Amino acid sequence: MSFAKISGTGIYIPDKILSNKDLEALVDTSDEWIKARTGISERRILDKDKATSDMCYEACVQALKNSHTDPKEIDGIIVGTVTPDYMTPSVACLLQDRLDTRKIFAFDLSAGCAGFIYCLNVAKALIENGQAKKLLVVGSENLSKITDYKDRGTCILFGDGAGAVVLEESDEPGILSVCLGASGKEAELLYTPGGGSKDPNGYRFLKMEGKEVFKEAVKVIQSNSLEAIESANLNPNDIDLFIPHQANMRIIEAARERLDLPLEKCYVNIERYGNTSSASVLLALHEALNESKIKKGDNILFSVFGAGFAWGSAVIKW
């Protein structure tokens, strides 16, 4: 049996910055409140004439370059997103054309913020069972397009961005474990009521009961992380770097403490990007690598919780 490992990462971050000060002009909030309650200072906003696939394309080009992979070597593209360019076709199909790959399979997967972890699990399985050798696995969100900039409970949190990895066949284990879960009972605590086939009038802003989501996120990130660590036959103190979903600094801190992981083992960049949903751990992974915070052999824990509710944790050996 072969294993699957990440051989290259890439990201795209829009140039335009929306700071907490800028938000003070839009809603009744303050820089101090946002920083204290979320850890966020600013987030990136994609130009109105650009879409999710534009960000994915840039992230994929960088990931291919970093993994020394020609697009023609790619056997499939899987994109995690809740903000596709169109309801159909998928962002992955648009990428197949733009990246000029062979006419390989390409599809999107919707699992809220956990989109990338879900995609990673599918890609891992396809590689381990011999159906593919090299895959592009992507997480990208244009959340500014579904954010209501009159709702201070949500607009302070979200930002745009994309991340991609090349996942490829390997002789040694790379993705040690992935544990996923979902609970649709809480669907309407965090959802976009418009845009689907039940949409009566095209209403599309994301709505959230922040407090309820917060409480559940802290609990599930702890239990799901422990599940993934155990499934990788490791203990929490074997984890060299914890890359949590960058949703709220207080959620990250509570989860880190519950997992008894020291501060220096936790990677955080939420202050610069806010919550970028399925791009979040990819932005953090890429930046941690560029800052030399990851070395060969390190055990890295990803853990994400979001809309669905859907969640996923993964342990990878670098």
User: Counting contacts by CB under 6 A, is residue 29 touching ligand ACO?
Assistant: yes
Polymer length of the chain: 318
Per residue in 56-68, is it b (16+ CB within 10 Å) or e — as a string?
A: bbbbbbbbbebbe
Q: Are 138 and 279 in contact (CB under 8 A)?
A: no
Q: Are 286 and 10 in contact (CB under 8 A)?
A: yes
User: Counting contacts by CB under 6 A, is residue 213 touching ligand ACO?
Assistant: yes
Q: Are 312 and 180 in contact (CB under 8 A)?
A: yes
Return the number of the residue (107 or 191) whose C-beta is nearest ligand ACO: 191
- φ, ψ (nearest 5 deg) of residue 53: -65, -30
Closest contact distance (angstroms) between CB of 114 and ligand ACO is 8
Return the number of the residue (7 or 276) whose C-beta is nearest ligand ACO: 276
Window of 66-74, 96-104, 213-221, 253-261 that interacts with ligand ACO by CB under 6 A: 213-221
User: Counting contacts by CB under 6 A, is residue 113 touching ligand ACO?
Assistant: yes
275 a catalytic residue: yes
Among 92, 127, 229, 251, binds ligand ACO (CB under 6 A): 251
User: Alpha helix locations (H) across 67-114?
Assistant: 91-98
User: Counting contacts by CB under 6 A, is residue 38 touching ligand ACO?
Assistant: yes
Where does residue 171 rank: exposed (0-12), middle (13-18), buried (19+ CB within 10 A)?
Answer: exposed
Among 275, 276, 303, 313, binds ligand ACO (CB under 6 A): 275
Kindly list the residues in this chain that would bind ligand ACO in the complex (CB under 6 A): 29, 33, 37-38, 112-113, 152-153, 156, 190, 210-211, 213-214, 217, 247-248, 251, 275, 277, 306-307
